[in-house]
Structure 1
Amino acid sequence: MKYLFAFLLFVSGMSLSASAQEKIYLKNQKEPISCTVREIGTTEIKYTPSDAEQLVIAVPRNDVEKIVFKSGRTQYFTDPLNDFSYYKGQKKWAVKAGLFSPALGYTDLYLEKSIKPGRSIEFQGTIIGLGKNRTYYNSYTSYQNSNMNQRGFSVGVGYKVLKMPDFELANRKMMHILQGSYIKPSVSIGYYQKNFVTTDYTTGSYSLVRKGVVTSHIAIAFGKQWILDNTIAIDVYGMAGLGIDNYRSQQMKVQNEVNGPATYVSDDVVPYSNFGYTRFGRGSTGVTLGAGVKVGYLFNCKKPKEVGGIDKMRDRLKQ
């Protein structure tokens, strides 16, 4: 009888020993590690395996999803660089303007919002005509000062994917949440009117005809944004894409109205400088290239204040 009792005590002890082990769950491993946790540091976690008590093994803290302790308490781990709370106090909104766009006949305005670490959404609005009045060069006459008088707008949206740092230095924040190199796919549409210049081949005289141009643009921008003192944004970028518009067909209409039906547009091979990019190619579709510099101001949207005692009472009831 006493042998049976001793055996039961042994089995019970083994069971308690196994259940007393802590478990580390790694992000890239299904089965947990049964062990005794020795140390939880800022960059790594040290443990002793249950089947090798003489060893102490370290794993990167960012590789650990959670630890279940002997007491039953569970501690979860997140990468601080991907945790919104890590950037507490940083402004998540930025309003920006194209630095050189007014000199090219338009003004670019941007509104960017961080939606999570490494990701932001950027809205764009372009006021065509708010800036220098462009002039048109007519290759058939010596008159080169025909004002375009461009007037219109375009709107667009882009999704920024920022490059995040691979590591953190001793509790020091590596960057602002809106700072870093990025890739931004974007789409935009626009409409504007301008003066087209055409020449009467019979008399040699020129005339101005006002037409509307519809544009659409799909692009990928590559850039880098710096944040100064959580207040000023400087964004430098280059982009390439595909542009579709009716600029050439409007040129053809103007030429036909003056000279009768035509079979081609004289400057169809000349790159078309749109407001924000340059399109290459014949007809209505072509490859686009562009670049620019943006400067802006950072801010936060304040939460609305509570109004009256009803809101306070509602919050107390929720608690």
Structure 2
Amino acid sequence: MKFITITLALFTSTILFSQEIDTDYTKNKKKAIKFEFFSPLTGNSTFGYESYIKDWLSWEAKLGIIGWGVGAANDIHQSGIFIKGGPKFKLNPDFVTDDLKGAHLLSGKYIRPEIVFSQYTEDVGDFFGNSFETERESFTSFAFLITYGRQYILANIMTLDYHFGIGYGYVSGREGRYSYSHSNGGSDFPIAFSTGFTIGFLLK
């Protein structure tokens, strides 16, 4: 999945370098709705919203519906939600002209500190004697991540964004597990990380 994300990002950057740069920021759309493109393959569907605040700063929030997915990831009948969000600090514009203007207010590399909360249930199996049995368990997970990413704007219509984050996390119940919003280590190594690729549409 990481290979696919990087490949798509490189392909997108090649296209963008061939586009004409428009530095009239009054034409920029400053809000976007998004979707984590590969999230259904991991047992959830994740939606996002971003809004521009001022130069070099916007904020972004995401909502994940755990259980809205496809394939083998749904064999454990997971159900729940997660939320995550935080400020998005832009590092530099995608393009720079002689007067130091970027291509779009929402494009470029960024750092996003974010708080994550997940609450879900799923079937957990284990061996009891010679038989394999499952039981329904509930999990709660928290994390604080520092996320690095890059966002591309296509013709002031669409967004493409790849990102990865690392930080500290906690999950109740069994240690070291995937919490849909991120992955957690155990109590002796409480590292959390996430990665993703989003596609979205700009709004006025």
Q: In the alignment, which of 157, 162, 166 is matched to residue 240 of structure 1? A: 166
Percent identity over the alignment?
27
Instruction: Give the 3 Å change call, closer, same or farther, for CA 239–214 of structure 1 in structure 2.
Output: same
Tell me the equivalent position of 1:199. Answer: 127
| Mapping 1:1-319, distance limit 5 Å | 87-132=25-70, 134=72, 147-165=75-93, 169-170=97-98, 173-201=101-129, 204-248=130-174, 271-282=176-187, 286-300=190-204
Per residue, is there more strand in 1 or in 2?
Answer: 2
Asked if 2 retains the 8 angstrom alpha-carbon contact of 1:94 and 1:296, the reply is yes
5+ residue gaps, structure 2: 1-22
Counterpart amino acid of 1:89?
K
Alpha-carbon distance between aligned partners in 1 of 2:46 and 2:171, rounded to the nearest angstrom? 19
Alpha-carbon distance between aligned partners in 2 of 1:190 and 1:278, rounded to the nearest angstrom? 11
Counterpart amino acid of 1:295?
I
Counterpart amino acid of 2:41?
A
Task: Count residues with an aligned counterpart.
Answer: 181
Instruction: Give the 3 Å change call, closer, same or farther, for CA 240–172 of structure 1 in structure 2.
Output: closer
Per residue, is there more helix in 1 or in 2?
Answer: 1
Counterpart amino acid of 1:155?
I
Q: Matched residue of 1:273: which SS?
A: coil
Question: Which of 1 and 2 has higher RCO (CA within 8 Å, sep 6+)?
Answer: 2
Q: Which has the greater radius of gyration?
A: 1
RMSD: 2.3
5+ residue gaps, structure 1: 1-84, 136-145, 249-267, 301-319
Alpha-carbon distance between aligned partners in 2 of 1:147 and 1:169, rounded to the nearest angstrom? 52
Asked if 2 retains the 8 angstrom alpha-carbon contact of 1:133 and 1:150, the reply is no
Asked if 1 retains the 8 angstrom alpha-carbon contact of 2:118 and 2:179, the reply is no
1:22-41 CA-partner distances (Å, limit 9, x unpaired): xxxxxxxxxxxxxxxxxxxx
Alpha-carbon distance between aligned partners in 2 of 1:215 and 1:292, rounded to the nearest angstrom? 19
Counterpart amino acid of 1:273?
Y
CA drift at 1:225:
0.4
